[in-house]
Chains A and B, each alone.
Chain A
Amino acid sequence: MSEPVEFLTVQTRKQPNYKLRFILLILAAVICILISFVVGRFTICIGDVLQILISAFLSAVYGCISFVLSPFPAIQNTVLGFLSQFIVSIDTWDYAKYSVVINIRLPRILAALLVGAALSTAGAAYQGMFQNPLVSPDILGASAGAGFGACLAIYLSLGSGMITILAFAGGLIAVLVAYMVSRMTKGSATLSMVLAGILVGSLFSASTSYIKLVADTNEQLPAITYWLMGSLAGATMQDVLFAGIIIILGTLPIFLLRWRMNVLTLGEDEAKSMGVNTNRLRFVVIVCATLITAVAVSISGIIGWVGLVIPHFCRMLFGYDYRRIVPAAIIMGGGFLLLVDDFSRTIATTEVPIGILTAFIGAPIFAYLLMMGGKRS
Chain B
Amino acid sequence: MNLSVHDLSFSYGKHLPLVLDAISFSTKGGDLLAVLGPNGVGKSTMFRCILGFLRNYSGEIILNGVNIKSLTHKQIAKHVAYIPQSTYPVFNYTVLDVVLMGVTNQLTLLSAPNQDHINEAYAAMQSLGIAHLRDAGYGEISGGERQLTLIARALVQKAKVLIMDEPTANLDYGNQFRVMCRISDLAKEGYIIILSTHNPDHAFLYANRVLTIQGGKVIADGSPDDVLDAKLIKDVYNVDVHIEEFQSATRHHKLCIPIEGGVKCETASLQMKK
Contacts and interface: CB of A to CB of B under 8 A. Distances in A.
A277 B135 contact: no
B173 to A, nearest CB: 13
Given A260-B104, A269-B82, A274-B77, A4 B139 contact: no
B57 interface: no
Interface string A265-282: 110011011111110000
A14 interface: yes
B154 to A, nearest CB: 9
A362 interface: no
Nearest to A260: B104
Given A133-B91, A274-B104, A259 B111 contact: yes
A5 interface: yes
Interface in B130-145: 130-136, 139-142, 144-145
B77 to A, nearest CB: 3
A269 B89 CA distance: 14
Contacts of A272: 51-53, 73, 77
Interface string A7-18: 111111111000
A274 B102 contact: yes
Interface stretch (A105-113, A144-152, A286-294, A317-325): A317-325
B144 A265 contact: no
Given A13-B136, A15-B135, 15 more contacts: A1-B127, A6-B178, A7-B141, A10-B142, A11-B136, A260-B109, A265-B90, A269-B82, A272-B53, A274-B102, A277-B74, A319-B94, A319-B97, A320-B91, A320-B97
29 contacts: A1-B126, A2-B126, A4-B129, A4-B130, A5-B145, A5-B178, A6-B178, A7-B175, A10-B136, A12-B134, A13-B136, A259-B112, A263-B101, A266-B101, A269-B51, A269-B82, A270-B84, A272-B53, A272-B73, A273-B81, A274-B102, A274-B104, A275-B77, A275-B157, A276-B104, A278-B73, A319-B93, A320-B92, A320-B93
Interface of A: 1-15, 128, 131-133, 256-260, 262-263, 265-266, 269-270, 272-278, 315, 319-321, 323, 377
Interface of B: 48, 51-53, 72-78, 80-82, 84, 89-94, 97, 101-102, 104-105, 107, 109-113, 126-136, 139-142, 144-145, 148, 153, 157, 175, 178, 182
